[in-house]
Amino acid sequence: MKFPFIDTLEERSLQLNPAQPARRWRWLLPVLLVLLFLAVLLWLPWQAREMEANERQEQLIADTLWVEQTLRFELARDEEALASLGADLVISAPAAPALQARLAQMFKNGHELSRVLWLDAEGTTLATRGVEAADTTLTAASLMAGDNARRTRSGRYSDPYRAGGAATIDYHLPLFRNSVYVGSLVAKFNLKVLLDETVPWWFAHDNALSILDRDERPLAQRTDGGSGRGVYTHKHALDLPGAMVELATDSVKGAPRLLPNLLVGSVIALALGLLVSLATLWRHIARTLAAEGALRQQMAFRTAMENSLVTGLRARDLEGRVTYVNPAFCEMVGLPPDELLGKVPPMPYWAPEAMAEYEQRFANVLAGNITPQFETVFQHSSGRRVPVLVFEAPLVDSNGKQTGWMSSILDISDRKKAEDLNRRQEEKLQQGARLATMGEISSMLAHELNQPLAAISSYTAGALNVLGRAVDSGSAVDALLLQRALEQASTQAQRAGQIIKSVHEFVRKREPERKEVAMPSVIEGIRALIDLQARQAFVSVKVHLPPDLPPVHADRILLEQVLLNLTRNAIEAMAQIAPERRVLRIVAESSQGHVAVSVIDHGHGIPPDVAERLFSPFFSTKAEGMGMGLSICRTAIEFHGGTLTHTGNPGGGTVFTFTLPQQAEALA
Ligand code: ADP
C-alpha cells in the first residue's frame, strides 16, 4: 500500500531542492541594488559640491557686476563733474582762483583723480591741478584718446598705462563752442586708488580684484584677503568709452573641502561597512544553504529510513494528539496518515474490547506517567486484531523541553501465534502424557486382572459343576473338591486385590514430590502463564492472598496443573461477556485446618444438566474440549486429601473451590 503521506514527503523534499538557476539569479537584484545605492551615494556629494561651486560662482559674478557698476558710477560722477566744468569753461573762463577752487572740490569728491589738465585747442595747458600737476605731458595713448574725443565730439578714455609705477587712465573731454573745438579737459585717474576707494572692504576681503589691460596684464590690484585661489574667477569689461579695460575678480576661497571630504569619507566608510556586512551576510547565507543542503540530505535519509522500517512509529503531543506516523504504522492499522494525524483519543485503531485499558493508559500519559513498554492490541481497519508491543519515550525538542511522546510499535502477531501454538502443543502433550499414563494403568490393570479373573471364573465354574453334578445325581457333594476350587478362587481374588493394591501403590509411588508448599509461590510460579492467557482474552487477573496463609503438603506440579485448568476454564467461560466484566479472581483463605483456594469468574455459569456430569472424564461442552481437566483436578485434589467443589457466583459466573489440609495436619 502506498500512502499519500509518502508523496507529501517527496514533494517537500522537492520544494527544498529548487532549480539551480533560480538560486543564481536571486543574487542579481540585491547586488544591482547595492551597486546602484553606492553609485547614488558617491554621486550625491559630487553633486552637492557642484551645486555649491555653481552657487559661489554665481554669487561672484553678481558681486563682480555690482563692483563694476560701482566703479563705473564713480567714474561717471567724475565725468559729470568735468562735463559741468567744461560747459562753464566754454561759456566764459573763470578767474584762476575760482577755477582752482572748483577743481579742488572735484579732487575732494574723487580721490582717484590724480591730475586735471585744461588744454586749449592747440594743446597748451591753461590750467592744471593734482598731485602730478607739475607734469603736464601726455602719453601717446592719451594723445590718441584726445584725438578720438575731438573727432567723436564726446569724452574718451585712453588705454591704461603706467605712470611712475601707478596704473593710470586718462579721460579726454573735448570742449566745443559753437561747434568749434576750443580745447579739452584731461583727467588722469589712478586705477589703484579707484579700486581702493570704491570697492567695499568686505568684497575686497573675500576677493582679489584686478584691473587688466587689453592684453590681460594686471594694471592695478587689491588683495586685502590674500591672493585669489583661481577657483572662482570672473572677468567683466569696464564699460569705458574708448578704452579696453577689464575688471577681474578671483575669490580667495578655494573649492569646498571639508563637507565633500566628510561626505565622501562617510560614503566610503558606509560603502565599506555595507560591503563587509554584505560579505558577512553572503557567508551566512552560504552557510545556511549548506546547512539546508545537509538538512535535505538528512531528510531524504530519514524518509528512506522511516519508509524502510517495519517498526511502526507514532509521535503524540502532550495532549495526546497524533503528530506523526510512519508508513509501517499506517500499514499496521490499515489507515492513511491523514486519518491519523491530528486525531485525539479515542483512536480509530482502538479495539472496543480493550477500550478501558487504553483509556486508563491514556489518562496515565496525560498525567505524565508512561509505561515504557507494554503489550496491547490494535484494531486494523479490516477489523483484524493486531497484537503489538509498544515502547514509549518522551519526545524532547532542541531546547530540552518535552513536547510529547514517541512510540515505536512492533507487530507481534507472529510471536503471539507461535506462543499460542507452543502453549497448545504443551497442553496437548500434557494431556497426551496423562492419557498415556491412564492408558498404561488401564492396560496394566486389564492385563494383570485378566488372569486372576479368568482363574476365579474357571474355579467358580468348576465349583458350580461340582454342585450341579451332586444335585443332578443326588449324591453327596465332593466337599474337598469344592473347598479346593473355592480356595483357589479366593487365592485368585486375593491376587486381584494385590494387583489393585499394587496399582494403588504405583499411583502412590508417582507422587514422591510431596512436600511443604506455600500457595502464593505456586500462584506466582504460574502467574505468567495465567496472565498470558488472560491478556489474550482481555481479562484482568486479581489475586487476593492473606499474608498469614499456612503452607500445604502437596505436589507442586499437580497443584499448578489444577490451578492452570481452573483458571483456563474461567477465562474461556468469560469469552463472550462485556470486556469490562472480564475479571478473574484467585482468592485464598485458611479455615478449620484447611487452605481453601477459589477461582472466581463472571462467565456463563454452569447449568444443572452440565453440573451433573461436570467431573465425568471426557465430558466437555466445548468444540475442542477434552473433558478431562476437571476430572484430573478432582482426582489430584482428592489424592491430597482435599475436595474440589463448585458453586454459582452471586454476581454471575462460577466459583471453583479446592481445599487442602494444612501442612501440620497433612503430616499428622
Ligand atoms: P474441557 O477441556 O472440556 O474444558 P473440563 O473438565 O475442564 O473440560 O470442563 C468440563 C466442562 O465443564 C466444560 O466443557 C464446561 O462446560 C464446564 N466448565 C468448566 N469450568 C467452567 C466454568 N468456570 N464455568 C462454566 N463452565 C465450566
Note the pLDDT tens digit of each residue in 593-604.
899 999 999 999
User: What is the CB < 6 Å shell around ligand 1?
Assistant: 565, 569-570, 573, 601, 603-606, 610, 614, 619-622, 625-627, 629-631, 654
Q: How far is the CA of 429 from the centre of ligand 1 (A)?
A: 19
Residue 13 is assigned to a structural domain of this protein: no
Question: Which cell numbers hold the place of 521?
Answer: 509461590
| C-alpha span between 537 and 540 (Å, rounded) | 9
Instruction: Give 383-400 pLDDT, tens digit per residue.
Output: 998 999 999 888 888 888
pLDDT at 633: 87
At residue 342, does pLDDT exceed 90?
A: yes
| C-alpha span between 184 and 176 (Å, rounded) | 9
Q: How far is the CA of 611 from the centre of ligand 1 (A)?
A: 9
| Greater model confidence, 53 or 503 | 53
Assess contact for 185 and 118: CB atoms under 8 A: yes
Q: Name the residue of 565, 620, 632 whose CB sits within 8 Å of the most ligand 1 atoms, as the mutation to test its pocket.
A: 620
pLDDT at 546: 93
First to last CA, the chain: 71
Mean pLDDT of 111-123: 90
If you average pLDDT over every residue of the chain, what do you get?
A: 85
What lies within 8 Å, CB to CB, of 337 at 6+ separation is 3, 4, 5, 8, 325, 330
Shared-domain flag, residues 321 and 229: no
Shared-domain flag, residues 324 and 426: no
- CATH code, domain with 180: 3.30.450.20
At residue 121, does pLDDT exceed 70?
A: yes
At residue 15, does pLDDT exceed 70?
A: no
| Greater model confidence, 56 or 495 | 56
Q: Which of 225, 248, 251, 250 is nearest to 238 (CA)?
A: 248
Q: How far is the CA of 592 from the centre of ligand 1 (A)?
A: 29
- Of 411, 436, 451, the one marking the end of a domain is 411
Q: How far is the CA of 634 from the centre of ligand 1 (A)?
A: 13
Residue 143 is assigned to a structural domain of this protein: yes
Question: Which cell numbers hold the place of 357?
Answer: 485499558
Assess contact for 188 and 180: CB atoms under 8 A: no
pLDDT at 9: 42
Q: How far is the CA of 532 from the centre of ligand 1 (A)?
A: 20
| Region of residue 367 (phi > 0: left; psi between -120 and 50: alpha; otherwise: beta) | alpha
Protein residue with its CA nearest to atom 13 in ligand 1: 620
Shared-domain flag, residues 368 and 438: no
Mean pLDDT of 217-227: 87
Residue 457 is assigned to a structural domain of this protein: yes
Shared-domain flag, residues 425 and 407: no
Q: How far is the CA of 534 from the centre of ligand 1 (A)?
A: 17
Shared-domain flag, residues 499 and 566: no
Residue 573 is assigned to a structural domain of this protein: yes
Helix, strand, coil percentages in the chain from 3-state DSSP, rounded to 5: 55, 20, 25
Q: Which of 644, 427, 653 is nearest to 533 (CA)?
A: 427
Give pTM, 2 decimals: 0.43
Q: Name the residue of 630, 631, 649, 655 whose CB sits within 8 Å of the most ligand 1 atoms, as the mutation to test its pocket.
A: 630
Number of domains in the chain: 4
At residue 30, does pLDDT exceed 50?
A: yes
- Of 387, 411, 435, the one marking the end of a domain is 411
Shared-domain flag, residues 456 and 556: no
What pLDDT band is residue 50 in, cutting at 50, 70 and 90?
Answer: confident
- Of 480, 496, 511, the one marking the end of a domain is 511
Shared-domain flag, residues 605 and 521: yes
What pLDDT band is residue 561 in, cutting at 50, 70 and 90?
Answer: confident
| Region of residue 400 (phi > 0: left; psi between -120 and 50: alpha; otherwise: beta) | left
Residue 268 is assigned to a structural domain of this protein: no
| Region of residue 35 (phi > 0: left; psi between -120 and 50: alpha; otherwise: beta) | alpha
Q: Name the residue of 428, 430, 569, 624 whose CB sits within 8 Å of the most ligand 1 atoms, as the mutation to test its pocket.
A: 569
Most confident stretch, 190-194, 418-422, 558-562, 661-665: 190-194
Residue 269 is assigned to a structural domain of this protein: no
Shared-domain flag, residues 520 and 505: no
Cis peptide before 346 (omega within 30 of 0): yes
What pLDDT band is residue 16 in, cutting at 50, 70 and 90?
Answer: very low
Residue 338 is assigned to a structural domain of this protein: yes
Instruction: Give 149-196 pLDDT, tens digit per residue.
Output: 999 999 999 999 887 788 899 999 999 999 899 999 999 999 999 999
Shared-domain flag, residues 398 and 464: no
Shared-domain flag, residues 497 and 529: no
pLDDT at 594: 92
pLDDT at 447: 63
Which ligand 1 atom sits nearest the alpha carbon of residue 603?
24
Q: How far is the CA of 570 from the centre of ligand 1 (A)?
A: 8
| C-alpha span between 295 and 326 (Å, rounded) | 19
What lies within 8 Å, CB to CB, of 554 at 6+ separation is 514, 515, 517, 640, 660, 666
Shared-domain flag, residues 418 and 407: no
Backbone dihedral angles phi then psi of residue 401, each to the nearest 5 degrees: -95, 135
What pLDDT band is residue 572 in, cutting at 50, 70 and 90?
Answer: very high
Shared-domain flag, residues 456 and 375: no
Residue 35 is assigned to a structural domain of this protein: yes
| Greater model confidence, 261 or 372 | 372
258: number of CA atoms within 13 Å, CB side?
Answer: 1
What pLDDT band is residue 260 in, cutting at 50, 70 and 90?
Answer: low
213: domain range? Answer: 21-252
Sign of CA dihedral 501, 507, 510, 512: negative
At residue 433, does pLDDT exceed 70?
A: no
Q: Which of 110, 118, 150 is nearest to 136 (CA)?
A: 118
Instruction: Give 527-552 pLDDT, tens digit per residue.
Output: 877 887 888 889 999 999 999 999 99
What pLDDT band is residue 512 in, cutting at 50, 70 and 90?
Answer: very low
- CATH code, domain with 614: 3.30.565.10
